[in-house]
Amino acid sequence: MHSDPVRFDAGDAPYLAWLQEHPRGYVINARRKEEQGAAMVHRAHCPHIRSLRNSDQTGSFTLRNWVKYAGTDLDRLVHHFVQERKAPLVVISRCKACDAVPRDLYHERPPGELGALPDERSTTVRVNARERDPLARAQCIERHGLRCMACGVDLAQRYGPIAEEFIEIHEVPTRDPRAEFDPQRDLVPVCPNCHSMLHRGRLTPLSIDDLRSVLRRAVRTWSDTVFGG
Ligand SMILES: [Zn+2]
Ligand SMILES: [Zn+2]
Ligand SMILES: [Zn+2]
């Protein structure tokens, strides 16, 4: 018997009852905040989602920072979870203890969602004044070097002398708007391709870590089957 995906975020009793009733079900453990895209998927019998770790003695399965999404059909559960999340990249990791999925699952939100810009307006990277400032650029390169922080390419190595010293500079949005601008912390070198992908269709660029995850993604075919390409 299949049950619809359900989210448990307001008390452990219904969650534990669900586990009891659906020993062959699946559970996605995720942060309460929907902007958080990282999660892990387990089988209902996995000890990791049935017992609170020592450090969480005062905690709860569903009341604090973590919530649970449960379902008996894995594809439907994953789909439901991805729809609810407001992150540009959703990564559902595989639990090594219960092996609910063969590999980590990735879902990239296409540009055009999540408060994005209309596509034609945003395919060109608009380089801001800080990214253009030669001194800030020099400080950024002194700190990070000339390799792209996202994909690791060294353009001079790939193209030879015509690409000597060529790299774009990207400003990482700081979390604290009152923090003073620090070129060594706030600027990173990125190749033109990665720079475009960071900004493509978005008001707030992807984070470097998210773009790295996109590049590492190994399960495109799985994801395409589930999400219809
Ligand atoms: Zn597990
Ligand atoms: Zn790159
Ligand atoms: Zn940028």
- Segment 7-36, tens digit of pLDDT: 999 888 999 999 999 999 999 999 999 888
Q: Which residue has the tokens 């660029």?
A: 205
Please report the pLDDT score of residue 112 as a whole number: 59
Please indicate, yes or no, whether residues 155 and 179 belong to a single structural domain of this protein. Answer: yes
Please report the pLDDT score of residue 3 as a whole number: 65
Cα-to-centroid distance, 29 and ligand 1 (Å): 9
Q: Is 210 inside any structural domain?
A: no
Please indicate, yes or no, whether residues 136 and 40 belong to a single structural domain of this protein. Answer: no
Cα-to-centroid distance, 171 and ligand 3 (Å): 5
Cα-to-centroid distance, 104 and ligand 3 (Å): 28
Contact 82, 227 (CB under 8 A): yes
Q: Is 1 inside any structural domain?
A: no
Domain that holds residue 146: 124-199
Please report the pLDDT score of residue 130 as a whole number: 79
Nearest alpha carbon to residue 83 among 7, 10, 19: 7
| ipTM value | 0.68
Please indicate, yes or no, whether residues 34 and 99 belong to a single structural domain of this protein. Answer: yes
Please indicate, yes or no, whether residues 28 and 99 belong to a single structural domain of this protein. Answer: yes
Please report the pLDDT score of residue 229 as a whole number: 42
Cα-to-centroid distance, 95 and ligand 3 (Å): 34
225 pLDDT tier (thresholds 50, 70, 90): low
Please report the pLDDT score of residue 91 as a whole number: 86
Beta bridge partners of 168: 190
Please report the pLDDT score of residue 114 as a whole number: 57
Q: What are the pLDDT digits (tens) for 130-180? A: 778 889 999 999 999 999 999 999 999 999 999 999 999 999 987 777 888
Q: Which ligand is nearest to the CA of 190?
A: 2
Please report the pLDDT score of residue 21 as a whole number: 94
Please indicate, yes or no, whether residues 61 and 15 belong to a single structural domain of this protein. Answer: yes
Q: Is 207 inside any structural domain?
A: no
Q: Residue 47: is its pLDDT beyond 60?
A: yes
Q: Is 208 inside any structural domain?
A: no
Please indicate, yes or no, whether residues 180 and 99 belong to a single structural domain of this protein. Answer: no
Q: Which residue has the higher pLDDT, 95 or 102?
A: 95
Cα-to-centroid distance, 138 and ligand 3 (Å): 16
Q: Is 116 inside any structural domain?
A: no
Please indicate, yes or no, whether residues 56 and 14 belong to a single structural domain of this protein. Answer: yes
For the CA atoms of 44, 9, 114, 213, the dihedral, rounded to the nearest 10 degrees, stands at: -40
Q: Is 119 inside any structural domain?
A: no
Please report the pLDDT score of residue 216 as a whole number: 82
Please indicate, yes or no, whether residues 105 and 10 belong to a single structural domain of this protein. Answer: yes
Q: Is 118 inside any structural domain?
A: no
* Alpha carbon distance 93, 28 (integer Å): 9
Q: Which residue has the higher pLDDT, 67 or 123?
A: 67
Please indicate, yes or no, whether residues 15 and 106 belong to a single structural domain of this protein. Answer: yes
Q: Which ligand is nearest to the CA of 39?
A: 1
Q: Residue 227: is its pLDDT beyond 60?
A: no
**Total domains, the chain:** 2
Please report the pLDDT score of residue 213 as a whole number: 86
Please report the pLDDT score of residue 193 as a whole number: 93
* Alpha carbon distance 90, 112 (integer Å): 16
Please indicate, yes or no, whether residues 13 and 105 belong to a single structural domain of this protein. Answer: yes
Please report the pLDDT score of residue 14 as a whole number: 92
Please indicate, yes or no, whether residues 24 and 84 belong to a single structural domain of this protein. Answer: yes
Please report the pLDDT score of residue 51 as a whole number: 77
Q: Residue 117: is its pLDDT beyond 70?
A: no
Please indicate, yes or no, whether residues 193 and 221 belong to a single structural domain of this protein. Answer: no
